[in-house]
């Protein structure tokens, strides 16, 4: 039996089994859940080889499944994150209601994502896409809070994206007569210009929704923060990457027919840039960790879109590397927030403070991820950012460099806010009871944090497959030109050697660690955070001295003009307008047979009058 089928059968069977077992036995359910995630992952990495395909036909349509080099990179994200977040989820969701439903949805999401990566034809691509959307929608409304506001928003945007995609698929079918992605790519240059434009734009809408590209991002902050955190790690880390995957696999293989520097590419790149800046600024303004991370995801996906839009080999390399990194660190951060939510019951910075001594491991994982997110060497985030800047400078996108740089500098603000808000600052007696999260939650976080460190030092580990994937898309090999296992070159041949840097940092760090930390830590005595110099006052135990409200107020005041324009009201206005139209339409359908007859007659008359124009008769 083909291994690919087996994987999907395990996924489907596991989803059903977990759902049913959820009604019977908790432990059995958990074990089935984990097994359903781990077994296919193992099978995938050991048994499935790149290029292997299976064909079958369904109601007269030829479908093909197979994994490409390129899909393989994303499979790393999906399965790796899926398994780790799954382990985390078992601990995090313990004691919640309706768990069988949650788990089977989780499995379905993972399966759908794998399906998207396997699909070589547009039909199964679309089907899996819909499964993914549905399962994630059910997760967003899982908590049952604010379904009206958040769930509907996500649903409407997904639906719009799906219809756009469906339209593109149908158009493709009518033009080429085939459903294969490859045939679309090969036939694409032969289309006339309007089609050449229409198909990518429709697909871009479809994928842009999932990857939260501005102006299609408005669903993201609400949905990311409403889904259970264990799922949001996958949602933001992997599921949004499917948008990127689609964008790359379809748009790039299509748009690569469009010459580099074409306005269409520029539009995508600039949309990415605006997404990055907007997402970052809004993230800075948030007081809720989930919302902050959600907006930050939007911003990070913006960088990736910039890379995809620019589309030089280096930029693609950067975009894909950042996609992997984003899965790692954002997954970790969402998990950390989940851990904090579980232990304290809230995720608001203005409420929780001073957890560092209570949850040191969570802090460590968050710290590493934040360093990666901020793009500070030697962690992995830097590699992606570096390559992105180099590619932007090298391909003459000067203003875009500044925009991206602005956004990633402003990102330090929310990075600090995240760490300070939760872990640092005053330790309030209110949170004195808080303990470290259970091991099953901490271990995945730590593993992923270490992963982002390893990728920072040995970027080749992941750049190798990315390179193979890019070659498959028709790019020249970047190996030896841009990177080696521990070395990075830029467009002009200047290089950054990572290993000596690492050695230096470690050596110096160890030195000062021994010198300052070990020596002082023993000699000095711990005093509580109430023992601070506050003009000679002695703060009482209940006096809250935490600075968390209006955290970046001066900054926000300075950037106020940029943040005045929000896209949300526009959509709301649009929705209102639509409502008015529908209202009007409802008034047309009066329910009176006579009126309908009148409409029919008017329609026929109009048809007769304009038949020449309409049918060209």
As given in the structure block, the two tokens for residue 497 are 């050697």
What gap in Å lies between CA 432 and CA 314, rounded to an integer? 49
φ/ψ of 492, rounded to 5, equals -100, 10
Is residue 367 within the footprint of other proteins (CB under 8 A)?
yes
Is 481 a binding residue for other proteins by CB under 8 A? The answer is: no
Q: Backbone dihedral region of 438: left (phi > 0), alpha (psi from -120 to 50 degrees) or beta?
A: beta
Q: Which two tokens stand for residue 568?
A: 């949300």
> What is the C-alpha to C-alpha distance for residues 10 and 390, in angstroms, rounded to an integer?
44
Write out the binding residues for other proteins, residues 95-114 only, by CB under 8 A.
none
Which residue, 146 or 351, has its beta carbon nearer to other proteins? 351
Q: Residue 422: which H helix or E strand, with range?
A: helix 398-423
Query: How does strand 483-484 pair with strand 61-66?
Result: unpaired
Q: Judged by CB under 8 A, does residue 524 bind other proteins?
A: yes
> How many amino acids of this chain bind other proteins (CB under 8 A)?
80
50 in contact with other proteins (CB under 8 A): no
Shortest spacing between CB 399 and other proteins, in angstroms: 8
Non-local (6+) Cβ contacts of 240 within 8 A are 210, 211, 212, 297, 301
Burial of residue 292 (CB within 10 Å: 0-12, 13-18, 19+) is buried
Nearest distance from C-beta of residue 482 to other proteins, angstroms: 13
Work out the number of other CB atoms within 10 angstroms of the CB of residue 153: 21
Counting contacts by CB under 8 A, is residue 401 touching other proteins? yes
The residue from 145, 262, 495, 576 that contacts other proteins (CB under 8 A) is 495
User: Does residue 269 touch other proteins according to CB under 8 A?
Assistant: no
Does 366 engage in binding with other proteins (CB under 8 A)? no
Among 53, 98, 477, 504, binds other proteins (CB under 8 A): 504
Q: Residue 63: beta bridge partners?
A: 56
Nearest approach, Cβ of 557 to other proteins (angstroms)? 5
With vertex at residue 452, the alpha carbon angle to CA 451 and CA 454, rounded to the nearest 5 degrees, is: 65
Choose, by CB under 8 A, the member of 5, 509, 574, 603 that binds other proteins.
Answer: 509
Position 386 contacts other proteins (CB under 8 A):
yes
543 near other proteins (CB under 8 A): no
Tell me: does residue 549 bind other proteins (CB under 8 A): no
Interaction between residue 450 and other proteins (CB under 8 A): no
How far apart are CB 381 and other proteins at their closest, in Å? 9
- What is the Cα–Cα distance from 251 to 442, expressed in whole angstroms? 38
DSSP H or E run through 166: helix 152-176
- Any contact of residue 610 with other proteins (CB under 8 A)? no
Decide if 281 contacts 560 (C-beta within 8 A). Answer: no
412 is a site residue for other proteins (CB under 8 A): yes
Give whichever of 420 and 571 is closer to other proteins, judged by the CB atom. 420
Q: Which two tokens stand for residue 136?
A: 């994630």
Task: Tell me if 382 contacts other proteins by CB under 8 A.
Answer: yes
Q: Which of 60, 536, 591, 616 binds other proteins (CB under 8 A)?
A: 536
Cα 497 to chain center, whole Å?
30
Report the residue from 5, 45, 56, 512 that binds other proteins according to the rule CB under 8 A. 512
For the segment 328-357, give every residue that binds other proteins (CB under 8 A). 354, 356-357
Report if residue 545 touches other proteins, rule: CB under 8 A: yes
Binding mask 292-331 for other proteins (x = CB under 8 A): ----------------------------------------
Contact criterion met (CB below 8 Å) for 203 and 168: yes
């Amino acid at each position: 039996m083909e291994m690919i089928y087996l994987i999907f059968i395990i996924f489907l069977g596991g989803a059903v089994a977990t759902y049913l077992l959820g009604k019977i036995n908790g432990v059995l359910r958990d074990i089935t859940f984990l097994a359903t995630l781990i077994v296919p992952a193992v099978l995938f990495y050991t048994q499935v080889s790149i290029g292997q395909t299976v064909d079958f036909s369904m109601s007269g349509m030829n479908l093909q499944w197979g994994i490409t080099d390129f899909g393989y990179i994303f499979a790393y994200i999906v399965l790796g994150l899926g398994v780790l977040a799954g382990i985390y989820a078992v601990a995090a969701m313990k004691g919640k209601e309706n768990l069988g439903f949650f788990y089977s949805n989780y499995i379905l999401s993972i399966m759908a994502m794998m399906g998207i990566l396997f699909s070589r034809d547009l039909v199964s691509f679309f089907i899996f896409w819909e499964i993914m959307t549905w399962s994630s929608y059910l997760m967003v409304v899982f908590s049952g809070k604010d379904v009206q506001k958040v769930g509907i928003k996500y649903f409407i945007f997904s639906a719009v994206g799906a219809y756009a995609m469906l339209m593109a698929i149908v158009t493709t079918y009518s033009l080429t007569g085939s459903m294969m992605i490859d045939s679309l790519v090969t036939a694409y240059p032969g289309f006339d210009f309007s089609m050449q434009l229409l198909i990518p734009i429709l697909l871009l809408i479809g994928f842009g929704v999932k990857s939260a590209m501005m102006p299609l991002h408005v669903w993201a902050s609400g949905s990311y923060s409403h889904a259970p955190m264990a799922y949001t790690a996958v949602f933001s880390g992997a599921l949004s990457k499917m948008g990127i995957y689609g964008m790359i696999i379809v748009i790039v293989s299509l748009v690569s027919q469009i010459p580099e520097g074409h306005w269409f590419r520029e539009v995508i790149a600039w949309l990415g840039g605006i997404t990055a800046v907007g997402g970052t600024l809004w993230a800075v303004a948030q007081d809720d960790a989930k919302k902050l991370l959600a907006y930050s995801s939007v911003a990070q996906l913006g960088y990736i879109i910039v890379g995809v839009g620019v589309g030089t080999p280096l930029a693609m390399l950067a975009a894909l590397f950042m996609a992997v990194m984003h899965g790692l660190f954002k997954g970790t951060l969402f998990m950390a927030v989940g851990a904090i939510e579980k232990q304290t019951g809230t995720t608001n910075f203005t409420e929780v403070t001073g957890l560092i001594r209570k949850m040191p491991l969570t802090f460590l994982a968050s710290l590493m991820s934040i360093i990666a997110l901020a793009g500070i060497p030697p962690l992995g985030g830097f590699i992606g950012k570096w390559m992105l800047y180099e590619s932007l400078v090298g391909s003459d996108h000067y203003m875009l460099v500044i925009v991206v740089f602005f956004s990633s500098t402003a990102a330090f603000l929310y990075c600090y806010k995240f760490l300070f808000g939760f872990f640092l600052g005053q330790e309030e007696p209110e949170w004195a009871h808080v303990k470290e999260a259970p091991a099953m939650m901490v271990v995945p976080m730590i593993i992923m944090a270490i992963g982002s460190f390893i990728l920072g030092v040995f970027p080749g580990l992941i750049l190798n497959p990315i390179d193979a994937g890019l070659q498959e898309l028709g790019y020249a090999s970047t190996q030896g030109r841009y990177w080696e296992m521990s070395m990075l070159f830029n467009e002009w041949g200047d290089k950054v050697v990572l290993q000596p840097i690492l050695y230096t940092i470690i050596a110096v760090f160890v030195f000062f660690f021994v010198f300052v930390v070990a020596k002082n830590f023993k000699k000095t005595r711990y005093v509580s955070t109430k023992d601070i110099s506050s003009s000679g006052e002695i703060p009482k135990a209940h006096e809250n001295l935490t600075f968390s409200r209006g955290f970046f107020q001066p900054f926000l005041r300075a950037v106020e003009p940029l943040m005045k324009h929000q896209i949300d009201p526009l959509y709301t206005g649009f929705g209102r307008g639509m409502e008015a139209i529908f209202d009007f339409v409802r008034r047309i359908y009066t329910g009176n047979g006579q009126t309908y007859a009148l409409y029919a007659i008017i329609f026929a008359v109009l048809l007769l009058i304009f038949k020449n124009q309409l049918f060209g008769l």
